């Protein structure tokens, strides 16, 4: 009984913290939640809850920042992301996933550290074609390493877009990707009754964390937002390195 209570407490705590961070930044829910949940839940439960909760958090974030959502900015990333994800899945069939993850992790760590210590540079001036390429690379990384939004987050930062505009790009894309994953999980019958119980148990905590995250988001400026995003990218890279070793 004590072990069960402890596991539930760990599960709910991780859910709140992940929702809080995602509310502030618009991403990293899966990174934070899964790194803790895997110690108390099965891999299938972790994946299912990551997708279902992520869909709620990202869907709410997209609606909350709908004033910054412009499909003219989003669709180039979507057009590039679909074939990129397909190619990544194909490459993963013959390539060594560990080597690909270690390369992506090293890039994230080096980029984040460099960006945190370098002086602020002028925003990259690029057109729609560059956004398509960024979407393609983001989809490819998602297909090979499971982090589809990472490179798009980096590209939005390089473009120098305001924080609302950035989230108005990568959050709708995340919703689309998560919706596809949820459809697959539902169609394959991967959702068990215990997972549903965990889902319902964590909903109030998820809502509280998301609300608190958005409350904090409204209080931070552009520079603080950028630093938080870069630190989370650094954490993503370190997490991948740790999982490799």
19-43 confidence digits (pLDDT tens): 998 898 888 787 788 778 878 888 7
Q: What is the pLDDT of residue 189?
A: 67
Q: Is the pLDDT of residue 121 over 80?
A: no
With beta carbons less than 8 A apart as the criterion, state whether 151 and 141 touch: yes
Q: What is the mean pLDDT of residues 44-51?
A: 82
**Taking residues 233-242, what's their average pLDDT?**
80
The predicted pLDDT at position 209 comes to 94
Please report, rounded to a whole number, the percentage of residues in the chain having pLDDT higher than 90. 17
**Residue range 129-158: average pLDDT?**
79
Task: Return all residues near 169 (Cβ < 8 A) that are at least 6 apart.
Answer: 73, 74, 77, 152, 156, 161
> Between these two residues, 142 and 214, which has the higher pLDDT value?
214
Query: Which whole number is the average pLDDT over 54-68?
Result: 89
Angstrom distance (rounded) from CA 84 to CA 149:
12
Asked if the model's pLDDT at residue 159 lies above 60, the reply is yes
Q: What is the mean pLDDT of residues 139-150?
A: 67
Q: Give the pLDDT score at 214.
A: 92
The model's pTM? 0.76
Domain residue spans in the chain?
A: 2-244
Q: pLDDT value at position 89? A: 63
Average pLDDT over residues 1-26: 87
CB of 181 closer than 8 Å to CB of 51 = yes
| Cβ neighbours of residue 215 closer than 8 Å, sequence gap 6 or more | 23
CA 119 to chain centre: 26
CB 20 within 8 A of CB 213: yes
Please report the pLDDT score of residue 170 as a whole number: 84
> pLDDT over 70 for what percent of the chain?
85
Please state which of the ranges 9-13, 71-75, 168-172, 232-236 shows the lowest mean pLDDT: 232-236
Lowest-confidence region among 10-14, 129-133, 156-160, 233-237: 233-237
- Give the pLDDT of residue 1: 46
- Tallying the residues shown for the chain, one arrives at 245
Closest-CA residue to 168 (of 79, 64, 87): 64
| 147 has a pLDDT exceeding 50 | yes
Give CA–CA dist 37/18, Å, rounded: 11
Q: What pLDDT shows up at residue 123? A: 81
The 3-class SS string of the chain reads CHHHHHHHHHHHHHHHHHHHHHHHHCCCHHHHHHHHHCCCCCHHHHHHHHHHHHHHHHHHHHHHCHHHCCHHHHHHHHHHHHHHHHHHHHHHHHCCHHHHHHHHHHHHHHHHHHHHHCCCCCCCCCCHHHHHHHHHHHHHHHHHHCCCCHHHHHHHHHHCCCHHHHHHHHHHHHHHHHHHHHHHHHHCCCCCHHHHHHHHHHHHHHHHHHHHHHHHHCCCCHHHHHHHHHHHHHHHHHHHHHHHC
Q: What is the pLDDT of residues 74-105, one digit of tens each?
A: 889 888 887 887 777 677 567 666 666 677 77
Q: How far apart are CA 44 and CA 220, in angstroms?
A: 36
Cα 235 to chain centroid distance, Å, stands at 12
pLDDT at site 211: 95
Mean pLDDT of the chain: 82
Instruction: Determine the Cα–Cα distance for residues 128 and 245; give it in Å rounded to an integer.
Output: 39
């Amino acid at each position: 009984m004590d072990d069960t209570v402890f596991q539930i407490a760990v599960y709910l705590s991780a859910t709140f913290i992940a929702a809080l961070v995602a509310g502030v930044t618009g991403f990293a829910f899966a990174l934070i939640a899964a790194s803790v949940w895997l110690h108390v839940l099965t891999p299938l439960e972790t994946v299912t809850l990551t997708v279902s909760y992520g869909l709620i958090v990202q869907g709410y974030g997209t609606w909350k920042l709908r004033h910054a959502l412009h499909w003219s900015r989003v669709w180039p990333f979507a057009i590039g992301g679909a074939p990129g994800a397909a190619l990544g899945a194909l490459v993963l069939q013959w390539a060594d996933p560990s080597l690909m993850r270690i390369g992506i992790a090293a890039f994230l760590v080096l980029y984040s550290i460099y960006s945190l210590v370098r002086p602020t540079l002028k925003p990259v001036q690029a057109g729609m074609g560059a956004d398509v390429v960024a979407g393609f690379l983001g989809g490819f990384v998602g297909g090979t390493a499971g982090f589809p939004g990472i490179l798009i987050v980096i590209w939005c930062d390089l473009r120098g877009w305001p924080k609302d505009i950035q989230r108005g790009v990568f959050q709708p894309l995340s919703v689309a990707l998560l919706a596809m994953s949820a459809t697959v999980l539902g169609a394959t019958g991967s959702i068990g009754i215990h997972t549903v119980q965990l889902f319902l148990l964590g909903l109030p905590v998820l809502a509280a964390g998301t609300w608190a995250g958005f409350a904090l988001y409204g209080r931070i400026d552009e520079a603080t937002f950028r630093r938080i995003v870069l630190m989370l990218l650094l954490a993503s890279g370190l997490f991948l390195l740790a999982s490799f070793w």
